[in-house]
Amino acid sequence: MTLKACKKEEKMDRGFQKKFKFEGSITVLTQMMVDPAATEKRGGAKNLPLRPGEILDVIQFTNQEQILCRNSQRRYGYVPRAVMLPL
């Protein structure tokens, strides 16, 4: 990974921590898959856009309805638990 790419990732991570008021280091708890039968959803202010069958990194289990996740483009957001399947 180049220095420029490393700095870009660090900047994105700092932006995530500020937006979601997340403290501490960002660690991946597990990976989960978006239900292939789910309809494609657009992201909102803090919601992650979803594609059926996509693999997401779980950052935090926030509550009974939502999970804080990161996709392959290093974008962060909330995802409904109802559309997530364990790997």
1 — pLDDT class (breaks 50, 70, 90): low
Domain ranges of the chain: 23-86
The string of pLDDT tens digits covering residues 49-65 is 888 899 999 999 988 89
Arch. (CATH architecture) of 23-86: Roll (2.30)
Q: What is the pLDDT of residue 24?
A: 82
pTM: 0.83
What is the β-pairing status of strands 55-61 and 66-70? antiparallel
Q: What is the pLDDT of residue 33?
A: 93
The string of pLDDT tens digits covering residues 13-48 is 888 888 888 888 888 999 999 989 888 777 778 889
